[in-house]
Structure 1
Amino acid sequence: MDELNIALVVHDLHNHGGHSAYAKILAGAFSRRHAVTVFANRCEQPSDARWQFQRVRAVRANAVTTVRSFPLGLRLQRRQLSNYDIRHAQGYCGGNPNVVTAHICVAAYLDSLRGVSWRHRVALQLMANAESRFYRRYQGRVIAVSSKIARELREFYQVAGSIDVIPHGVDAARFNDDCQDQRIAVRRQLGIGDHETMILYVGDLTKSHVYLKELAQAAPWATLVIVTYSQAYRWKSKNVRILASTRDLAPYYGAADAFVFPTTYDAFGMVLLEAMASGLPVFSSDRAGAAELIQSGRNGFVFALDHWVEATIAGLQNLATLRAVGDEARKIARRNDWSKVVREVEQVYFNVAARGVLATEATVGAYGY
C-alpha cells in the first residue's frame, strides 16, 4: 500500500494518560512510513519527532469546556482535515473522522458511579450526551480498546456497525523485577521490611477506595502502597502508604509482591498490563477491560467485586505460588506489546483507505516499530 496521509486527533498529546499516550505512540510509529500530523490543543512533541503538530483551539476552564469547545476549534480546520486519507480521532473530538478509537463509554462510566457529587455527575452527563450524539451519527470505523467497551457502545449508544477490538499494549522493556538493590531501596524508603508483603495499587481512588479500605483492614499483615493523583477518598492507616502520582512507576512495580485493581469501571486499565509486564501477580475486578487478557488462576486473578476482598486475601497467602502466576503474567504482557497494536491499527487504516470510508461530520456540542 502507498504511503498514507494520517491525521491523529486528540485533545492533548503527552506520555501519560491512556488515550494521549496511545496517540503519541501511534504518531511515532506511523511517522516512520507515513505522513502524520497530530491535531491537538496541547502537545509534547519530541525534538526528533517525524510527525507534524497542528494546534486546535479549545477553552481550558475545565474538562467539560474542553470537550465542548474542541470540536469548534476543529471546525476551523475542516478544509485542511479533508485532505487526509485517515482522520483518526480519540473518542469524541468532533470533526469528520473516518476512524475512531473508543477509550471509554462515558454513559457506562456514569452508570457505574455511586456516591459522587452532583457537580461531577452533571459534568459527566453533559459529556455522555455529546458522545452519544456523535456515535449515533458516526458512520466510519470504530476501534474499541476492549470487548467491554465494544459491548457498552452497542448498549448505551446503539452502535450497530462492526467494531474492531484492539487492546492497548505495553512497553515491556520498561518494566522488570530484576533489580534487587532498587527493590530494597524503595521498600526502605517506604518503611517496609525486605520480607514483609507489599501490595500495590496505581490509579484513581474514586473507582476503588471502598474495596482498598476493606482490603487494608482485613490484611493488617500486609502494607498497601497506593500511587494516585486523587485528593479525595484518602485515609490514614498503619499499613497504608499513599503516594503522589508519578510517571516513573517501574520502581514501585519492582518493589511490590502483588498488584491489586478493584476498579468499579475501567475501559482498559493500562497499569494492569504494566504490572503484569513487571512479573507481578495481579488481582483485578471483572470491570476492567484489561482483565480480558487474564486467565484467572493462571496468569492473574479476576474476581467479581462482591467477593473481591475475600478472594484476594485468600490468594495473597501463598507468595511462592504467586511467583509462578507472575511469571505467566509477564509472558502475556510481552505478547501484547505496542508493536502488535501498531500493526493492527495500521491494517484498519489500509482497509479504510481502500474502501474510501467517509463519515458524517459530528455536530458541535517513541516507540520505533
Structure 2
Amino acid sequence: MIRLAIVRQKYNPAGGAERFVSRALNALREHGELDLHLIARRWEKLEGVTAHPASPFYLGNVWRDWGFARAAKRIWLRERFDLVQSHERIPGCDVYRAGDGVHRQWLKLRARRMSWLRRLSLSLNPYHRYICRAESEMFLHPRLKLVICNSMMVKREIIDYFGLPESRIAVIYNGVDLNAFNPSLRQAHRQAMRQEWGIAESAPLLLYVGSGFDRKGVARALRAAAEQPEAHLMIVGGDKRIERYRSLARRLGMESRVRFSGPRQDVKPFYGMADGFILPTLYDPFPNVCIEALASGLPILTTKQCGGAELVRQGENGWVCDALDESALSSQIGEWLSLRSRWADLSEAARRSAEPLSMEVMGARLLSCYREVLGAEGLDMDRSDCGVAGEEDLR
C-alpha cells in the first residue's frame, strides 16, 4: 500500500482548491491502494484519512507560508511517506499539483490593469517575491518527480517559465460528481429558487459562483451584462468589498437585474435556477465551478486566461474571449441571448463536455501517476495513462 501525504495549508469549504483536495482524497480512497495522509493547518474531517497538524505561529503572510512549509517538511521527513504531493509551493516535494497555476503569470496578467507605479509596487512586494522564489526553487528541485497540472494552459506556462520537460508533467483535469451536478437540478430547483429571489421564470439568467470578485471579474460581468437589457445576473460568493459591487450595479442602472446571495455551502440549487454561467476571470488555472456548470447543463462564458476554456466549443457549449475585452463579453452575452431557441442544444452539449471528467476517472489517473512515479527508474516516464490527451479529444 502506498503511503501518500497531501499537503495543503488551509481548508476553506467554499474554496475551489480545497474542494479539489477533498474530492481527490475521496476518489483515491475508493481504490483501496493508498494509505492517505493530510498535512494542513486546518482541515475538514475525512474518513480514512490521517491528519497531521502543521500550524506554527506567524505574523504576516510571508512568515505564514514560510513557517508552514518548514513544519510540513519536518512532518513528511519524520513520517517517511512513499510520496509527498504538495498543493503549496514547497521545494522538496515528490509531486506538485499546480492547482494555483504559475504565480509569475498571474502577476504578469494582473499588471495589465495597473499604472507603472502600481506595477513597481507589485514587483517589490515581499510576499510576491517570496512566492516566486519558492516556486522557482520547487520546480528546479532535484526531488521533484512529477508536476500535475489541471489544464494545458498551466502546463505550457510551466514549460515556458521553468523549462521542465514534458515527460515530467501530466495534465489531469479536475473531476466532477456527475450525479450531484446534472441537468435535473433545473427541474428540482428552478421554480422555487426563482420565486425565492424574485426572478421571473422567463428571465434569461447568468450565474456567477466564486470568491475574489476582483480577479474573477464580477465588475466586468456587471458592465458587460448592463449592455444587454434582457440579461439577469445571480452572483454567488463572498467578497470583503461586496458593497462596491452592489453600488456598481446601481450606477449601471441594473440593480433590478442583479442578485447577490453571499457565500453558500450548497451551490447546486443556484445551478438549477440558471440558464448559463459566466466567469470573466483574469486568471484561473481550472476552476471547479466551470466543470460543475457544464455538468449541470449550463453553457459557460469565460476567458482565454481560464483553463476551463479548454472545454469550450465556441457557440456550442459556451464562449471565450480575452479577460479584459468587455465589449467582446457583452457581444457574447448578446449571442447567447439570440440563441434562446437553441438553449436545449447548448445544455446537452455542455453536459456532454463534462461527462469524460468523472471523479472515478480523475482518481484512476492520479493513482496511475503515483504508480509510475514509484516504479520509474528515471524521470523519462510515459504519461499516456496518467495524463489527458490534447484539448481536441475533450470536444
TM-score normalized by the length of structure 2: 0.82
For residues 28 and 242 of structure 1, the distance between their equivalents in structure 2, rounded to whole angstroms, comes to 32
Measure the CA separation in 1 of the matches of 2:285 and 2:157: 10
1:143–1:256 Cα change, 3 Å: same
For 1:64 and 1:330, how far apart are their aligned partners in 2?
42
1:55 to 34, 53, 75: 53
The C-alpha deviation readout for 1:239-271, integer Å capped at 9, x for no partner, is 222221112111111101111111111011111
Residues 95-114 of structure 1: matches in 2 within 5 Å? 96-103=92-99, 104-113=101-110, 114=113
C-alpha change, 1:226 and 1:120, in structure 2 (3 Å) is farther
Question: 1:132 is matched by which residue type in structure 2?
Answer: S
**What is the alpha-carbon distance in structure 2 between the residues aligned to residue 26 and residue 267 of structure 1?**
17
SS in 2 for 1:42: coil
- In structure 1, distance between residues paired with 2:58 and 2:209: 26
Give the letter for the 2:136 counterpart: S
More helix by share: 2
Tell me, in whole angstroms, the C-alpha distance in 2 between the residues paired with 1:254 and 1:335: 21
Q: SS of the counterpart of 1:322?
A: helix
1:211 maps to a residue whose letter is R
8 Å contact from structure 2 (residues 14, 263) kept in 1? no
Give the CA deviation at 1:311: 2.3
State the Cα deviation string for residues 49-108 of structure 1 (Å, max 9, x = none).
112111113345554433221111123324324x222111113134x3211111121111
TM-aligned CA deviation for residue 304 of structure 1: 3.1
SS in 2 for 1:331: helix
* Runs of 5+ consecutive residues of structure 1 not aligned to the other structure: 359-369
- Residue of structure 2 equivalent to 1:79: 77
The equivalent residue for 1:364 is: none
Residues 29 and 314 (structure 1), Cα distance of their counterparts in 2 relative to 1, 3 Å cut: closer
The one-letter amino acid paired with 2:7 is V
CA distance in 2, matches of 1:63, 1:227: 27
The aligned residue for residue 292 of structure 1 is: 310
Q: 1:196 aligns with which of 203, 220, 240?
A: 203
Q: Kindly state the Cα deviation for residue 356 of structure 1 after the two structures are TM-superposed.
A: 5.9
Structure 1 residue 115 displacement after superposition: 4.1
CA distance in 1, matches of 2:51, 2:106: 31
CA RMSD of aligned residues (A): 2.3
Residue 393 of structure 2 corresponds to which residue in structure 1?
A: none
Q: For 1:275 and 1:120, how far apart are their aligned partners in 2?
A: 34
Amino acid at match of 1:172: L
CA contact (8 A) 1:175 1:250 kept: yes
In structure 1, the partner of 2:213 is 205
The 8 Å contact of residues 215 and 313 in structure 1, kept in 2 or not, is answered as no
**For this pair of structures, how many residues does the alignment match?**
352
Name 1:45's counterpart in structure 2.
Answer: 45
CA contact (8 A) 2:27 2:359 kept: no
Number of the residue aligned with 1:310: 331
**1:323 and 2:366 correspond:** no
2:24 is the counterpart of 1:30? no
SS at match of 1:173: coil
| Alpha-carbon distance change, 236 to 308 in structure 1, aligned in 2, over 3 angstroms | closer
Compared CA separation, residues 59 and 206, structure 1 to 2 (3 A): farther
Percent identity over the alignment? 24
Give me the whole-angstrom Cα distance separating, in 2, the residues matched to 1:214 and 1:225.
Answer: 14
Shift of the 44–61 alpha-carbon distance from structure 1 to 2, 3 Å rule, reads farther
Is 1:147 aligned to residue 152 of structure 2?
Answer: yes
| Letter aligned with residue 34 of structure 2 | H
For 1:298 and 1:148, the matched residues in 2 are separated by: 21
Is the 2:7–2:72 contact (alpha carbons within 8 Å) kept by the matching residues of 1?
Answer: no
TM-score (norm 1): 0.87
The residue type paired with residue 102 of structure 1 is A
Instruction: Flag structure 2 segments of 5+ consecutive residues without an equivalent.
Output: 380-395
